[in-house]
Amino acid sequence: MYKKFASLLLQWHLKENKRTMPWKGEKDPYKVWLSEVILQQTRVEQGWTYYEKFVAQYPSVETLAAAKDEEVFKLWEGLGYYTRCKNLLHTARFIATHYNGKFPATYKEIVALKGVGTYTASAITSFCFNLPYAAVDGNVLRVLARVFGNATSIDSTNGKIFFSELAYKVLDKSNAGLFNQAIMDFGATVCKPVLPVCSQCCLRYDCIAFKKGTINALPVKEKVLKKKTRWFSYFIFEANNKILIQKRRTKDIWQNLFEFYLVETEANPAWTNETVASFVENQLGVDEFSIEYIVPAKSQQLTHRHIKGYFVSISFNEIPEKLKGGGNKWVEPKYMARLAFPGFINQNLRDIKNEASSF
């Protein structure tokens, strides 16, 4: 499976990957390092311009090392997280002093540089020197968790160890740089967080999450439970006069209460008919359905959390295969009155019903 995984990703990368970035394919370790530092807390779209400005003004590690602090910080202005800029200058000067201005070429030397972690060191050594190190970022973790159907928390100690080992197992050791770029781009453009393009995925026939209909549930994060604002989108699926419900079993708010099919997102998903249709078609493999309504939820303030979201009602002709079994339970609407649901759901459903009856 590991060899097939790598082979399919590389084929996709060479034939279908259209993602362009100025540092993509770069072999100069200084420029790769610069791009990675900029992107540590910054979106690609924003970092792109800054990268091009830095390369134009400081084309080598020596020119950056010789620059005045004030000039570099001025160029960095707007990127935030200024510790990155301080580390950038410190490391450039360290390389100029200890390596005669030549960027080190081994993983051990690179990971020891200030501000450089395991991911950045792996990226530099694989992209520039084709050394067999797996660069594991959020995109890579998402792809691995879904394809291999693993629900270990990616931000837990065990999860970090497990996925790092898995990333190394699937890595094409002879084409490490190419493979790392392929899996990162794949996670960014195909296996996306909320609306992955499963219908166009070269891995869908081997993807455990796709087969089981658990794409939305993976990857699992522990820290998401600690966020102050959480976005819950509840999909009310109806088929054969029955509604899909699930029981909350994780150690989280509303444990052991019932709910509808939940999609939790990092930020406001701003659902539209088009994005909902894409979600249903790609994740559930259904092309015949009816979107009854999309309603922004009235927010609820809990002790330590603010809950926001949406309620989306969808009707199917038949129960989708991927929504059968597991924790999915299809019940008649009258039966739901016997079950305990969170106040967030009950209040919003009452409001939706009242608003509908007022027309």
* Long-range contacts formed by 187-192: CB under 8 A, 24+ apart: 187/137, 187/138, 187/139, 187/140, 187/142, 187/143, 188/19, 188/44, 188/139, 189/17, 189/18, 189/19, 190/12, 191/139, 191/142, 191/143, 191/146
236, two tokens = 């009310």
- Please tell me whether residue 238 adopts helix, strand or coil conformation: strand
Query: At a CB cut-off of 8 Å and minimum separation 6, what does 231 contact?
Result: 264, 265, 266, 267, 268, 269, 308, 309
59, two tokens = 């084309």
- The runs of H, that is alpha helices, within 40-113 are 44-57, 61-65, 69-76, 83-98, 107-111
Confirm whether 16 is a catalytic residue.
no
Neighbours of 139 (CB within 10 A): 20
Give me the DSSP letters along 143-162.
Answer: HHHHHTT--S-TTSHHHHHH
Query: At a CB cut-off of 8 Å and minimum separation 6, what does 153 contact?
Result: 159, 220, 221, 222
Amino acid symbol at 9: L
Distance, in Å, from the CA atom of 33 to the CA atom of 55, rounded to the nearest integer, reads 11
Distance, in Å, from the CA atom of 51 to the CA atom of 31, rounded to the nearest integer, reads 9
Question: What is the rounded radius of gyration, in angstroms, for the C-alpha atoms of the chain?
Answer: 24
Q: Which of the following is catalytic: 16, 26, 36, 70?
A: 36
Burial class (CB in 10 A: 0-12, 13-18, 19+), 140: buried
Helix (H) or strand (E) holding 39: helix 29-39
Q: Which residues are catalytic?
A: 36
